[in-house]
Amino acid sequence: MRLAVIGTGYVGLVTGACFSEMGNRVVCVDIDREKIAQLNRGEIPIYEPGLERLVRENSRKGTLKFTTSLAKGLEGAEIVFIAVGTPQRQDGRADLTYVEQVARQIGQLMKEPVIVVNKSTVPVGTGDLVRCWIEEELEVRYKNGSLSPNKYKFLSKGFDVVSNPEFLKEGDAVNDFMKPDRVVVGADRPQSMEKLRELYRPFTFNHERFIGMDVRSAELTKYGANALLATKISFINELAKIAEKVGADINRVRIGIGSDRRIGYHFIYPGVGYGGSCFPKDVQALIKIAEDVGVEPKIVRAVEEVNRLQRSYFLNKILNRFGNQLEGIKLAIWGLSFKPETDDMREAPAITIVKELTQRGATVHLYDPKAMEKAKNYWLKGINGVKYFSNKYDALNGTDGMVLVTEWKEFRSPDWYEMEQRMNRKIIFDGRNQYDWKKLYQVGFEYYPIGINVKKMIEKGKSFKKDEESEEEK
């Protein structure tokens, strides 16, 4: 098929590259000239495993092209994907400005009927708005004489608007697209549904994972899925606080809970809260969607509140150890991106943590495998008291503690002896529960994870051992 993908962010670029890999002819369109020039040179503006190979190989084969001209993108296209940003407005709602601009341009430029697919995450009812915006532009063309009556009728009756929300995990987006858990398509015309089913068949033919529904149900499915995953994260983080108070080990509790197949292990890892481009924005948007139709979203609102407080909860572990004023304290931060295998720092917990520590007078040494440039040039630009390092051990030099924020694989099994030699004080604040508290106690580190009161656990262990010795003496 001939496809146009409008927007070359995470979703648009992955979508275009993966469809072209299956032999479709794809034109990706973006108004950012610098980004399009980069892509035409084979340079990828984002880090996503496997994406660079797909872009370069399919560009070389001619199945994937990049342009700033929407008119060129629409030439011969059967299906047009809208994959532009829907940033959060100040009131929490999704901003549809870019979606409207693209929809109106499609109405102004299309010469043949197309299926317009909303790939962007949009509120329920956006499909109707997109249809309306396109129809309005077609009517303008008809009234000013640039469309004949027959052509106007042909275009206005022939185009369709479909919802096809994405369920891609940053850091594993290519694999998610190639081997999807499900493909959700909302379409009100049977012929549009069949066209999308045919397009996705190479990705779903081994297992039937194509789920068809109406447009509004598809739009709500995306928000519902993200809100439920965010709920699991906030729930385990709230449970972790209880575990610390009662002297339980949240890591063991998590395993006990997750072994229930109705619950599962996914998204019940305690930490410093969710971030990224999806969960924070989509949870707030769902709250506004509910409020607009007179529903009080009590659970979803609580999910957002727990997540907001989780960063303060983790920061307080550092402040309780060193005091509220941190002048003269040096801390190393391992991990800046909101999750591993991406350089994306949107809503990353590290931003909040670094800003709070430096505002209190701390010097902060930063290291991340992929997000350093984005941190230095944008997210943490101009912040006093930060230093950047190209090696995780160099970042430890002369520090009073290490703060693990993102669970990159290279942080899982560090050289404890190397760390001991580099650090002034052997203290670790683990925001992702990557380490075994017993092991760290044995090698002489102070350790502050999430959901485990290590001091209580050590005292409990000593008491248990003492009881065993008393029994042996008897």
Report, as an integer, the average pLDDT of 257-286: 94
pLDDT at 462: 66
104 & 243 share domain: no
54 & 116 share domain: yes
Does residue 436 register a pLDDT over 70?
yes
208 & 240 share domain: no
Structural domain of 55: 2-213
Does residue 330 register a pLDDT over 60?
yes
Average pLDDT over the chain, rounded to an integer: 94
Q: Which residues are catalytic?
A: 278
Does residue 465 register a pLDDT over 70?
no
Cα angle 146-151-154, degrees, rounded to a multiple of 5: 145
Q: CATH number for the domain including 28?
A: 3.40.50.720
Report, as an integer, the average pLDDT of 307-318: 96
164 & 208 share domain: yes
Domain assignment of residue 137, yes or no: yes
- At 193-233, the pLDDT tens digits run 999 999 999 999 877 799 999 999 999 999 999 999 999 99
Domain assignment of residue 474, yes or no: no
364 & 313 share domain: yes
311 & 373 share domain: yes
Domain assignment of residue 102, yes or no: yes
Domain assignment of residue 463, yes or no: no
Domain assignment of residue 296, yes or no: yes
47 & 110 share domain: yes
Does residue 461 register a pLDDT over 80?
no
Percentage, residues of the chain above pLDDT 70: 97
Boundary of a domain, candidates 213, 242, 271: 213
Domain assignment of residue 24, yes or no: yes
- At 68-105, the pLDDT tens digits run 999 999 999 999 999 999 998 989 899 999 999 999 99
347 & 425 share domain: yes
Domain assignment of residue 221, yes or no: no
Percentage, residues of the chain above pLDDT 90: 93
255 & 208 share domain: no
pLDDT band at 463 (very low <50, low <70, confident <90, very high): low
Does residue 117 register a pLDDT over 90?
yes
Report, as an integer, the average pLDDT of 158-184: 95
pLDDT at 236: 97
Does residue 466 register a pLDDT over 80?
no
Boundary of a domain, candidates 213, 236, 256: 213
pLDDT at 472: 55
Does residue 185 register a pLDDT over 70?
yes
40 & 87 share domain: yes
295 & 148 share domain: no
Domain assignment of residue 218, yes or no: no
pLDDT at 207: 74
Does residue 174 register a pLDDT over 70?
yes
Report field, pTM of the whole predicted structure over 0.85: yes
- At 384-419, the pLDDT tens digits run 999 999 999 999 999 999 999 999 999 999 999 999
173 & 280 share domain: no
How many domains does the chain divide into? Answer: 2
Report, as an integer, the average pLDDT of 376-386: 95
